[in-house]
Amino acid sequence: MKKSFLVAGLKSALVSLGLLTVWGIFVGDVSAYGQSLTAAPQPSSELQSLTKALSGEWSLNVKFEPDATMPNGLVNTGEETWRPGPGGFTLLEEEHLRMPQGEVFLLGIVWWNTATKRFQGMECQNLLPYTCDVKGAQSDITMSWDGKQFIIDEIETSTAGKKSIWHEVWSDITPTSFTQTGEYGEPGGPRKRLFTIHATRVTTQSRRDAQVNDDAKSSAPALAVDTAVITETIKKDVAQLVAGINAHDAVKATAYDALNIISMECGRPSTIGVEADREGFKLGFAHDADWRVSLSDETVDVASSGDFAVYRGTYNEDSSSAGVPMTHKTNFIAEFKRQSDAPWRIVWYSVSNMERSHPK
């Protein structure tokens, strides 16, 4: 009994000590900023103004501009929700976008730094290898809000050390809609538009209408999956990739990559992401100017649901060694997945040699 009492007393003392330590830190911080202990801190007027402007659930109509991976551009949909964090000291953005290479899930955190008198923020998303950009929050991101436009500028650095500027703007903000644009470019130079988003506030009635449409779709009879069409589509896509490889064009060789594609090749570590896959092709092209591939045979297995397929192909891979033409057979297997309102994309692939390279 006494032992239990002493343990309980020790725990109580430690808890009390911990609370006193926290209280001491609180008092010290408050005193440093000259705030009264009788008045709890309140969210800044700047953050309250931004929160009032953007808070709510929004339905997104997204237009992607044409680029190397989307020659015709793309119109798609998404969702975006803004809400105050605990106590209103932060503003949280939750965003879901459907892109050709896969779905993007994003969490944004915005706050007002009382010491520096400016907005700060941090982004977390599923496409970042480290998930949350802590470094960017500390030094790379600047934000501004003038009551009409919310602007984010971020310095981004590529793996090669090249810097660019990401410029994102929320404008034309009304109680029922806003416009969101994203642009990028070199520091001090012109910017190129990546997307334009038109957002509409989700109301109780619009949510009911969406549910009615979903119920109607779910009760409709399922359409038959045309495996022959899917098979030919994927074979044509692969033929375009092979053409890109033989032209030593890394962009075309990765044109059907999903954003978070997993690449597995014998002789080198696996990679994740389209940029890493593209860099791998560039290294291969630089290593051997005679690198070419040609189809031997191929098969496409389409799932009964019609939303993914597995491609299996055997290729002759030609190269050169000390001026001597070489060749060997290579096995290529990849999973193609249908994206929301977008073409088929490769989510992973594996390349393995079936024999040693030998003179042709």
Q: What is the pLDDT of residues 2-24, one digit of tens each?
A: 333 323 333 333 333 343 344 34
The pLDDT assigned to 24 comes to: 46
Dig out the tokens for 47 from the structure: 């953050």
pTM over 0.85: no
CA distances from 177 to 84, 97, 150, 198 (A): 19, 17, 14, 7
Extract the tokens encoding 3: 């032992």
CA distance 69 to 277: 14
Dist CA 320 CA 267 (whole Å)? 17
Give the separation between CA 20 and CA 26, rounded to whole angstroms: 10
**Alpha-carbon span 60 to 313, nearest angstrom:** 39
pLDDT at 74: 80
Which residues in the chain land under pLDDT 50?
1-28, 30-32, 34, 341
Long-range contacts for 242-247 (Cβ within 8 Å, ≥24 apart)?
Answer: 242/293, 242/294, 242/295, 242/315, 245/281, 245/291, 245/292, 245/293, 246/292, 246/293
Full set of structural domains in the chain with CATH: 45-219 (2.40.128.20), 227-359 (3.10.450.50)
Distance CA 267, CA 222 (A): 44
